[in-house]
Amino acid sequence: MRLILLGPPGAGKGTQANRLIEKYRIPQLSTGDMLRAAVAAATPIGLQAKAVMEAGALVSDEIVVGIINDRIGEADAQRGFILDGFPRTVAQAEALDAMLAAKGLKIDAAIELKVDAQKLVGRIVNRAAEAEAAGLPVRKDDDPEVFKTRLAAYFRDTAAVTPHYAAKGLLQEVDGMASIADVAASLDKVLSNLS
């Protein structure tokens, strides 16, 4: 199963992907996680991406497409994967279509977690507070001001990705404002209807 989780930052894509990887035994491919690892390891890509990420802007299509192209070729991704945070622009979606077509593969569904953008800022303030309370590092880009920039990038560049998959008949919508358990149940329902 090859899935894409769509929705603005803070919509719960990471949380839901974590459960789905257990259920389907396929990896979550999060470009945000991969970029954060590259920044932490100070690789050449990490050095390029650091300031862009801290400002809440988008890293170049070329970098993230390259990362995903390499990652989907790895052994654990051969049975499928869940893309989280990619594609974030129409150019990335088109590059993904081309790289999968070259391997004779396709996406089974793109699932959009639909959320109220106004409420997301509150959600992200909670995420930062919870991380702090648990003694975990707080993401620099979870600062409320930077988060607003990330949301603006979403509406400017990423919102157009949803129609890309709708046009292919692959888009499924789930209410992302419900509880984590209810969102999980809606996702399970969508996925059981796929096979």
Please identify every residue annotated as catalytic: 13, 88, 127, 139, 150
Are the beta carbons of 68 and 35 closer than 8 angstroms? no
Give DSSP secondary structure letters for 154-169. IIIIITTHHHHHHHTT
Binding residues for ligand AMP restricted to 84-113, rule: CB under 6 A: 85-86, 88, 92
Distance in Å, CB of 79 to ligand AMP, minimum = 23
Q: Which is nearer to ligand AMP, 59 or 191 (CB)?
A: 59
Site string for ligand AMP, 118-157 (x = CB under 6 A): -----------------------x--------x-------
Are the beta carbons of 29 and 46 closer than 8 angstroms? no
Cα first-last separation, the chain: 9
Site string for ligand AMP, 44-83 (x = CB under 6 A): --------xx--xxxx----x-------------------
Q: How far apart are CA 54 and CA 29, in angstroms?
A: 21
Distance in Å, CB of 84 to ligand AMP, minimum = 7
The token pair that represents 139 in the structure block: 């993401």
Q: Which is nearer to ligand AMP, 57 or 166 (CB)?
A: 57
Indicate which single residue of 9, 29, 39, 96 sits in contact with ligand AMP (rule: CB under 6 A): 9
Q: What length is written for the chain? A: 195
Nearest to 59 by CA among 40, 32, 82: 32
Q: How far apart are CA 15 and CA 85, in angstroms?
A: 12
Binding site for ligand AMP (CB under 6 A): 9, 31-32, 35, 52-53, 56-59, 64, 85-86, 88, 92, 141, 150
